[in-house]
A and B are shown apart, each in its own frame.
Chain A
Amino acid sequence: MLRIEVDMFSGRPNPVWIITEEKTVKDIIGAASQTQAIAKQGVGFNGLGLREIRVSTLGDEGTRVRGVPAAFAVGSSAAQDFEASQKLAHMLIETMPLRSEHKLLEHELTPLDKKLRELILKRLDRKWLKPWWPPRPRPTSNPLIDTTADIKCRHCNYEISQFNPTFWNNPATQPYNNCYNYGRNWKTNTFAQPGRAHGAQTGTMACNTVTAAAMADGLVKRCNPCLPNGEFPRRLMALVIDPGWDYHWYRHQRGGFWGHKPGSTAARKTDNSNAVITNPETCDRGGYTDFCGYFYAGKSVVIN
């Protein structure tokens, strides 16, 4: 079952309805899984007027579809593919009953009827023809950081920053920050461990366990999903494992190479053969033989 809420009113309750018909639910979730149409709820335009259509599952098992969370928004200015997001929003509004069969509290003040549906569709179309939210404020200009399109999935963007070893390689910082700090670009001075900030640390040094721990901190797999602009600055990190012993992270930098910080040693851009790292999959990594994959880390990733 899905709960649909059209986030558009300021004083009255928003229009809300429940979809119970299994085929319709499947169609909606299926459409959401095939595009970059969905966004996190509440991260897009948040002024007066039609803001987004919110979709939430009612059970605790979520959508059971990869890439589609239990709650998401369409018709949102935060969606990567706004056109697809608008189309999906249309599809949802078409499911709005003209007289709700499930009496909800909201229907006392906002009853569902044809007039309301037409108003929503009209406002949705107006939004599509001429986006009427103010332009998203650009992040503060910083000459040390650029946004780049991901070569593996052009619709995803992330940030690359200038290699800046002096920030890390000083007595107050270097001994207390490791590869995870460097990869996330966050000096915690705690020798941060994947998952520790969220009670999900692992002692098993393998790709799957360290991946799960890092994802508990908020990292997401590369391209699936893209991180929205609201997650600026977004880092691209690579994870490798010395099986049974240790893990290690790299971070993509401006200039096309990768930086890293092995343990409490100095931050650097070279591998064990002293070559500049242009590919963490093939560089000399010593005993860190298992390449686990790439991840994005947005601003909401908390490590400790």
Chain B
Amino acid sequence: MIVEIDLFSGRPNPRWQVDEGVRGQVLAVEVQLKPAVRGDMELPGLGYRGFIYEDGGVMRRAFAGMLERDSVVYKDPTNAMERLLLESMPVDLVGVRKRVLGLLS
């Protein structure tokens, strides 16, 4: 599974591949999430806009304690998905990781 962090405007966003173990954890987090009452995920223009990944031909975006999948928004009050994907970042993206961790805390 390929994960992208939607962060930049000019430069290409960092992307990396996660193994089957991480993929399993991602899908396990997904099944625990409940639909949000308000169904809109508002993204800022510039700056961190979450993580994007695809599984089974369906795109997802995890951002600001929410997960959007198939036009449905789910609540993720502990940012579990964003933290999991942040942890899966390769070591060469350590600077990006620190920066986004600061935004999540």
Q: Spell out A's residues near B (CB within 8 Å).
A: 178-180, 191, 193-194, 205, 210, 242, 245-249, 260-265, 268, 270-272, 285-288
- Interface mask (B37-75 → A, CB under 8 Å = 1, otherwise 0): 000000111110100000000000000000000000000
Task: Judge whether B9 is part of the interface by a CB distance below 8 angstroms.
Answer: yes
Instruction: Check A285 against B46 for contact (C-beta < 8 Å).
Output: yes
Instruction: Check B12 against A191 for contact (C-beta < 8 Å).
Output: yes
Which 4 pairs from chain A and chain B are nearest by CB? A286-B47, A286-B46, A247-B10, A248-B9
Partner among A194, A246, A270 whose Cβ is within 8 Å of the Cβ of B9: A246
11 other A-B residue contacts (CB within 8 Å) besides A247-B11, A262-B45: A179-B10, A205-B11, A248-B46, A249-B10, A262-B46, A263-B9, A264-B6, A272-B46, A287-B46, A288-B46, A288-B47
Q: How many residues of B contact A (CB 8 A)?
A: 15
Instruction: Check A271 against B8 for contact (C-beta < 8 Å).
Output: no
Q: Spell out B's residues near A (CB within 8 Å).
A: 6-13, 43-47, 49, 99
Instruction: Check A178 against B45 for contact (C-beta < 8 Å).
Output: no
Q: For residue A244, which residue of chain B has the nearest CB?
A: B95
Residues of B within 8 A of A179 (CB): 9-10
In the assembled complex, the Cα of A260 lies from the Cα of B6 at a distance in Å of 16
A192 to chain B, nearest CB (A): 9
Q: A245-B8, A246-B8 are in contact. Are A263 and B47 (CB under 8 A)?
A: no
Q: For residue A249, which residue of chain B has the nearest CB?
A: B10
- Return 30 A-B CB contacts under 8 Å, by A number: A178-B10, A179-B10, A191-B12, A194-B10, A205-B11, A210-B10, A245-B8, A246-B8, A246-B10, A247-B9, A247-B10, A247-B11, A248-B9, A248-B10, A248-B46, A262-B46, A263-B8, A263-B9, A264-B6, A265-B6, A265-B43, A265-B49, A268-B45, A271-B45, A272-B47, A285-B46, A286-B45, A286-B46, A286-B47, A288-B46
